[in-house]
Amino acid sequence: MRQRWPSKLWVVRHGQSAGNVARDLADAAGAAMIDMDIRDMDVPLSELGEEQALSLGRWFKALPEGEQPEVVLASPYVRAIRTAELIGVGGKVTIDERLREREFGVLDRLTSFGIKERFPEQAEHRAILGKFYHRPPGGESWCDVILRLRSALDTISLHHADKRVLIVGHQVVVLCLRYILEDLNEADILAIDKEADVANCGVTAYDFEPDCVEDCDPALTLYNFTAPLDREGTPVTTAPDAKVAAR
């Protein structure tokens, strides 16, 4: 039976952003609100984030030509698009809004302290439900993100079967794609999330068999792979984005 998956799939979190830096500063100061004066989708890469993307791009370009990405898909957020552009493989970067960051609604840009101070009922609700199912007013749960990513994967299988595909997105995109591709459950993915944050420009990769008798399950070959940065001495960062306040 011929499968309809890509032959190779890489999923990369964007490089460090100005939002990552702002969140660290807010947490260190014990502030209720993360200090950002632009929309989250417009937050750019930091100078280090650009270095990280360039380092990762050199790693991809060092692969044999027949093993490099052919198709590049990115979240519509500026930091993801810029990361994909700086990686510089696979030709045109195609934007897919289903790869965007999780939306936090009324909790957007609040630190954990700020959520407890301004929306104590939401903090309590999240503690009861857990972050996999908790949907803040105007925002999304992890389940909501998973639903749109299932749709994105259907499109990839329809239009890019047998291609080598690179996705550039966000921490929650990396984790939720693992949930789907590896047929995980809530406990599985939350345990992975608890182990460590996804690194900026960290690489997750899957191989797919071209032909199979039963289900063509993807094989995870890399997760949170940062050797391309380590080899060049580029600092590795893992801080959540500005809007990812409540973890």
Query: Whole-model pTM?
Result: 0.92
Selected residue with higher pLDDT from 232 and 20: 232
- Average per-residue pLDDT for the chain: 91
Task: Print the domain residue range for 72.
Answer: 8-17+44-103+140-232
- With 50 as the cut, is the pLDDT of residue 7 above it? yes
147-158 tens-digit pLDDT: 999 999 999 999
Report the candidate in 114, 132, 225 with the shortest Cα–Cα distance to residue 123: 114
**Average pLDDT in the 126-130 region?**
93
Where helices occur in the chain by DSSP H, the ranges are: 18-29, 47-62, 78-87, 112-118, 120-129, 142-159, 171-181, 186-195, 227-232
What pLDDT is recorded for position 212? 62
Burial 80-102 (b: 16+ CB within 10 A, else e): bbbbbebbbbbeebeebebbbbb
Q: Residue 114 falls within a domain, yes or no?
A: no
Q: Residue 112 falls within a domain, yes or no?
A: no
Q: How far apart are alpha carbons 188 and 205 in whole angstroms?
A: 18
What pLDDT is recorded for position 244? 43
> In the structure encoding, which two tokens stand for residue 87, read together?
């990686």
Task: Please state the domain count of the chain.
Answer: 1
Residue 17 bridge partners (DSSP): 45
Q: Which three-class secondary structure state does DSSP give residue 131? A: coil
**What distance lies between CA 145 and its chain's CA centroid?**
11
Q: Residue 193 falls within a domain, yes or no?
A: yes
Q: Identify whether the C-beta of residue 157 lies closer than 8 Å to the C-beta of residue 140.
A: no
What pLDDT is recorded for position 246? 41
CB atoms within 10 A of CB 138: 11
- At residue 245 the predicted structure's pLDDT band, cuts being 50, 70 and 90, is very low
Q: How far apart are alpha carbons 47 and 64 in whole angstroms?
A: 29
Q: Residue 128 falls within a domain, yes or no?
A: no
Q: Residue 213 falls within a domain, yes or no?
A: yes
The domain spanning residue 180 has which CATH number?
3.40.50.1240
Q: Residue 153 falls within a domain, yes or no?
A: yes
**Average pLDDT in the 61-66 region?**
96
Sequence-distant (6+) residues with CB within 8 A of 30 are 113
CA distances from 40 to 56, 125, 158, 163, 171 (A): 24, 25, 31, 32, 15
172-189 tens-digit pLDDT: 999 999 999 999 999 999
Q: How far apart are alpha carbons 6 and 171 in whole angstroms?
A: 22
Q: Residue 33 falls within a domain, yes or no?
A: no
- With 60 as the cut, is the pLDDT of residue 44 above it? yes
